[in-house]
Amino acid sequence: MAIEGPLRELGIHDVFQLLDLSRKSGVLRVVSRLRDNEGVVAFHAGRIAYASIRSNPHPIGEMLLKASKITAAELDAAREQQTQHGDRRRIGEILIEMGAITPRDIEQYVRRQAEAVVFELMSWREGHFRFEEASADELPDNPSVAVSTESVLMEAARRIDEWSRIADRVPSLAVIPEFAEAAEEHSGQLDLLPGEWEVLTLIDGARDLRRMAVDLARSEFDVAKIVYGLVSTGVVVLREPDRRSRAVAMDSDAEAERQANIRAQVLQGLAAVTGGRLDDAIRVWSHYLGAHAGDKDAPAVREAVEAAERLRRSVEVLRGE
């Protein structure tokens, strides 16, 4: 059974809670045309077994390699097991069987991956979600490692709260970091952590924070926190994108949001039909047709309204109304 609808009707936090409380197994896909992005989360009996997002996928194998938990040879061997031997399990499951890493370590990194993805998804106010239910055996990898959905939601909420505290210095992910002029009293003295050095190596006057997160294979939240520290200590300064590029981006975003809103009405009607609520579907779609008669989906929606009205009349006849 599928559960779907627009995020404007049911927020992603509520979707996760619903799947957690009902102990569902299956795959949730969340798509935002406005952001040109998609998140995928696999659930196993209400717990999160896997999560990824197109804009910054945070692959488990790369995370483990970067943390020196596994070697490059072990990662290559696990990937070869997938590609050449048709092993449908995920990298983590194969690495556990190989003895390269423990289930506890995998759980830790699955949690980190899920926290980064859920934190991003919880900021979306537009888009569409669809959950396809499946038994545990039907999932791609019947996972032995899955993390608590409730704990991941709590961590995402904590990150949102922390982001509000750093927003005074890091207003958005679109800002571009640049090196600050060195003060004489600090000349030649830099005592930084490895993560801070990694960020510094990518400062080129062109990359914004979102691009840096992708290049570092780290979460946007982690990069923003590191940059906040560097700004606070006077190592870097932040520059807003130039006005022209911002104006073009704003126009593009406005048009994308308008299209997303139009599409949301189509999907809302579709969700109503799927749920057997013909009156709601006809009402939503009729409003859509009145405002967007020239939209590319309008002909199909018009046919759907006519079909829904015929079906409603037939049901009324059967009921003797």
Which tens digits make up the pLDDT trace of 48-79? 988 888 876 667 888 888 778 899 999 999 88
Residues 134 and 70 in one domain: yes
Residues 52 and 201 in one domain: no
- Of 1, 112, 119, 11, which is closest to residue 58 (Cα–Cα)? 112
Task: Look at residue 103 and tell me whether its pLDDT is greater than 80.
Answer: yes
How many domains does one find in the chain?
3
Residues 147 and 174 in one domain: no
Cα–Cα distance measured from residue 299 to residue 302, given in angstroms and rounded to the nearest whole number:
5
Cα–Cα distance measured from residue 5 to residue 264, given in angstroms and rounded to the nearest whole number:
9
Cα–Cα distance measured from residue 283 to residue 143, given in angstroms and rounded to the nearest whole number:
43
| Section 95-119 average pLDDT | 86
- Residue 131: the pLDDT is 92
Cα–Cα distance measured from residue 200 to residue 245, given in angstroms and rounded to the nearest whole number:
24
Percent of the chain topping pLDDT 70: 83
- Of 148, 161, 185, which is closest to residue 44 (Cα–Cα)? 148
Domain that holds residue 177: 170-239
Cα-to-chain-centroid distance, residue 156: 12
Q: Which is higher by pLDDT, 272 or 156?
A: 156
pTM of the prediction? 0.60
Residues 7 and 63 in one domain: yes
Q: 238 has which bridge partners?
A: 177
Residues 83 and 64 in one domain: yes
